[in-house]
Amino acid sequence: MNSSNHTSLIKAEAKRLGFDYVGISKADFLEEEAPRLENWLNNNMHGQMSYMQNYFDKRLDPRLLVPGAKSVISLLLNYFPSENQVDDTAPKISKYAYGKDYHIVIKEKLNQLLEFIKENIGEVDGRAFVDSAPVMDKAWAKKGGLGWIGKNSNLINKSSGSFYFIAELILDLDLEYDGAVKDYCGTCTKCIDACPTDAIIAPYVVDGSKCISYFTIELKENIPDDVKGKMENRMFGCDICQDVCPWNRFSKPHQEPLFKANEELLGMKKEDWIELTEETFRRVFKDSAVKRTKFTGLKRNIAFLK
């Protein structure tokens, strides 16, 4: 089989495993992203996310992660829910955390895909990545033609919007590469205008240290007082810049059973969250990404919203 056959085979299997979109790019140095990342770090836009400073070279060159790497396969998995939290006055959780932790769900699919490749193509060396390693997933998805990077710094797919998880397989296998698509943001500034903490400091530039997701998930100390009253009732993550994006009118509910929203979570009233116990936290968020913030972190966030 040649690279064309290999490419078709891999894309078909990825779709069978439930991935919505697959794009492939040449494993090379991310020349365009290098100065941007350096500038972002130098301006401390990563806040206390010190891990963002680690493995600078590996973030920009996948060949340092997988020796002899030739292809980066980028995959998108939709997480847009069919239901939302019932009580409009209850503290809000980002849509991506409604169901089972995406790291677990996607890693399993990636491992299956990698196993399929080895069984059907032969000796292939590769690694699977899902938001837990020094890989610039949005940059690779863009290079693979899966969308463009919007002014809110999220990947936007023209057909389906931006409510997607991004994952990668980096392989030492020659494949056919997809080209990037154009930017369709135009003159729209809805995401910039809607951000309550002014985290989008310029088109395509997000100061991570000002983002509600940073305050509610990454920040381990107290949330700054100057953010009081600006959180728009968000206790874990934030979807505001995505909710207002015109391209998300094309979002359709996901088809992944493991992302199905926890019914207890959706049904909890404002007072239930205020009175949240550690026992309820452990039960509701047993396999959830919300565990990242821990019980004490979530209680801190809820208290800050009062």
Report which of 129, 176, 255, 254 is spatially closest to residue 10, judged by C-alpha positions.
176
CB 185 within 8 A of CB 270: no
* Tokens linked to 117: 């490749």
Q: How far apart are CA 166 and CA 128, in angstroms?
A: 11
Would you give the DSSP letter of residue 218? I
User: For residues 6 and 121, what is the distance between their CA atoms, to the nearest angstrom?
Assistant: 7
In angstroms, the CA 20 to CA 263 distance is: 25
Work out the number of other CB atoms within 10 angstroms of the CB of residue 234: 21
Pairing mode, strands 234-236 and 92-93:
parallel
Sequence-distant (6+) residues with CB within 8 A of 242 are 152, 154, 161, 162, 163, 191, 248
Neighbours of 39 (CB within 10 A): 11
Distance of CA 294 to the CA centre of its chain: 20
Nearest to 56 by CA among 70, 28, 27, 35: 35
Identified catalytic residue from 131, 172, 183, 272: 131
* C-alpha span between 119 and 113 (Å, rounded): 10
Going by C-alpha positions, the residue among 121, 12, 127 that lies closest to residue 71 is: 127
Is 131 catalytic? The answer is yes
Residues taking part in catalysis: 131
